[in-house]
């Protein structure tokens, strides 16, 4: 009989039961690993943020990054990614000619990871990653903004963007759309879908809803 047959390989597992103590050890080890990941990698970025504004780290997929860049095609100037995580959107924006390309992120471990990726790609001197609270950053000179944030954060963020961004700014959201905004374009499907919003159009819509007239 072939020694590599699946049935033969399963014999040691069938003969040896983990038992309650073994299962407890596995569970404890898994829980400890999860805690280490949380305490060392994620929690440092949450300590300074109110609970309702906290956003878990979930890296953008290649399709999501491609969809973001597709909606930004033909544009240039400064790009900022709010909650930039490991920096992959900022790095790709820099590759495609956006200057400066800036990421705002509170988690120091993710900032180090982003800096490493930029160094490895040869762009360490062309991108900027800053440990700053996105709610306290001025966006007055940002003509291109990308966000991959939780739905609970977007209603608050849309007010900040409307009040601070320049008239010609474009906002691109990934995973979740802004709840009260009408996009001028979308790209992708499902979890990879992205939405583009024109600030000038949004301000006109807001003025119409409030009954005002913008000159």
Answer whether the bond into residue 100 is a cis peptide, omega within 30°. yes
What is the rounded CA–CA span in Å between residue 93 and residue 97?
A: 6
Average pLDDT over residues 149-159: 92
* Residue that is written with structure tokens 């009260």 in the block: 180
Average pLDDT over residues 151-166: 95
pLDDT digits (tens, 9 = 90+) for 197-208: 999 999 999 999
pLDDT digits (tens, 9 = 90+) for 119-153: 999 999 999 999 999 999 999 999 999 999 989 89
pLDDT at position 58: 82
Strands of the 194-198 sheet, one edge to the other: 127-130, 101-104, 79-82, 144-147, 170-174, 194-198, 185-187
pLDDT digits (tens, 9 = 90+) for 55-84: 567 889 999 999 999 999 999 999 999 999
pLDDT at position 172: 98
Q: Which of 73-82, 112-121, 159-168, 204-213 has the lowest mean pLDDT?
A: 204-213
DSSP state of 39: I
Q: Where are the beta strands (DSSP E) in the chain?
A: 79-82, 101-104, 127-130, 144-147, 170-174, 185-187, 194-198
Structure tokens that stand for 139 in this block: 């966006």
pLDDT at position 158: 95
Structure tokens that stand for 169 in this block: 């700014």
Long-range CB contact pairs, 205-213, < 8 A, 24+: 206/162
Q: Which of 8-17, 93-102, 152-161 has the lowest mean pLDDT?
A: 8-17
pLDDT digits (tens, 9 = 90+) for 15-60: 445 555 655 555 555 554 444 444 444 444 444 444 444 556 788 9
pLDDT at position 24: 58
pTM, full prediction: 0.74
pLDDT classification of 209: cutoffs 50, 70, 90: confident
pLDDT at position 57: 76
What is the rounded CA–CA span in Å between residue 92 and residue 71?
A: 13
- Averaged pLDDT score across all residues of the chain: 82
> Percent of the chain scored above 70 by pLDDT?
72
What is the rounded CA–CA span in Å between residue 182 and residue 160?
A: 17
pLDDT at position 23: 57
pLDDT classification of 10: cutoffs 50, 70, 90: very low
pLDDT at position 159: 94
Handedness of CA 131, 72, 160, 152 (dihedral sign): negative
What is the rounded CA–CA span in Å between residue 161 and residue 55?
A: 18
């Amino acid at each position: 009989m072939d020694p590599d047959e699946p049935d033969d390989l399963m014999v040691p597992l069938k003969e040896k039961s983990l038992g309650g103590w073994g299962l407890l050890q596995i569970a404890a080890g898994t829980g400890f690993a999860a805690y280490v990941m949380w305490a060392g990698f994620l929690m440092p970025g949450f300590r300074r943020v109110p609970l309702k504004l906290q956003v878990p780290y979930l890296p953008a997929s290649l399709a999501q990054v491609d969809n973001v860049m597709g909606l930004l095609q033909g544009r240039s100037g400064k790009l900022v990614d709010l909650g930039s995580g490991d920096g992959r959107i900022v790095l790709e924006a820099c590759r495609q000619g956006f200057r400066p390309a800036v990421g705002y992120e509170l988690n120091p471990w993710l900032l180090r990871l982003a800096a490493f990726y930029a160094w490895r790609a040869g762009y360490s001197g062309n991108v900027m990653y800053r440990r700053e609270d996105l709610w306290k950053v001025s966006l007055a000179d940002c003509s291109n903004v990308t966000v991959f944030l939780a739905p609970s954060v977007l209603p608050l963020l849309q007010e900040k963007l409307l009040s601070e961004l320049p008239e010609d700014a474009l906002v691109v959201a990934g995973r979740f759309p802004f709840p009260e905004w009408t996009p001028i374009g979308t790209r992708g499907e499902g979890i990879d879908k992205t939405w583009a919003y024109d600030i000038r159009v949004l301000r006109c819509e807001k003025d119409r809803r409030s009954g005002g007239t913008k000159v």
